[in-house]
Amino acid sequence: MEFLKANIENGICTLAISAPKSLNALNSTILKELDDFIDHIDSNVKVLIITGDGEKSFVAGADISEMQNLNAEEGENFGRLGAKVFRKIEVLDIPVIAAVNGFALGGGCELAMACDIRICSDNAKFGQPEVGLGIIPGFSGTYRLAKLIGMGYAKEMIYTGKVIRADEALRIGLVNAVYPQAELMDAAKALAAKICAMAPIAVRYAKLCINAEYDLEADEAIAYENKVFGMCFDTKDQKEGMTAFLTKAKPSFKNE
């Protein structure tokens, strides 16, 4: 991988996007590398952390130099590539944490929103400034931002190209927590470790339910949860977890 740096330790994979000359801006090569990485992620990984290489930027946006001379068809194809990759991240069967360490603008904000949980450093900045370039968010930003922070505020951010700081991102629910720059990755790994200690199949089923039920009517969503809840009782991890609880022991989950 030319633009990705991956490290796996104790079931946690840390993936850094590394294109320092462009502040980790996304071009088609990086998106294809991400696509391939997600398709072939190690089966022993329980949690994926996505971050940016360096201290200035998570992902500063999509590569404007690549987009500048695209025609309508080429622009649609570029948007489709980014949207496809981010959707794979969103539905990946393990939790994905975005550790946002600086600029998360345009495609960077969209990448963070495709992750399950977002935490950021105190120097982070978020925004969808595409209208100032004569385009709109193209990697599903108009879809996800409204769902995360509400339609009114999302429209304001997108229509004006407003860039917000970490404290405001926390206030409106775009991120879960803000940390000093030096503490961000330790916090991300600590959060990932807490998830790793849980029953992997149950975590996977919980993500499946939350994602699937978001657009369902209440009765349909509840019925879907009931079905997946029942599926948990066919796992060895359920027996292990409940037995450990009743015997006051520490569970040893086997992902079975």
Q: Does the annotation mark 76 as catalytic?
A: no
130 a catalytic residue: yes
Question: Out of 130, 156, 183, 213, which one is annotated catalytic?
Answer: 130
The catalytic residue among 66, 74, 110, 168 is 110
SS3 string, the chain, reads CCCEEEEEECCEEEEEECCHHHCCCECHHHHHHHHHHHHCCCCCCCEEEEEECCCCEEECCECHHHHCCCCHHHHHHHHHHHHHHHHHHHHCCCCEEEEECCEEECHHHHHHHHCCEEEEECCCEEECCHHHHCCCCCCCHHHHHHHHHCHHHHHHHHHHCCEEEHHHHHHCCCCCEEECHHHHHHHHHHHHHHHHCCCHHHHHHHHHHHHHHCCCCHHHHHHHHHHHHHHHCCCHHHHHHHHHHHCCCCCCCCCC
Q: Kindly list the catalytic residues.
A: 110, 130
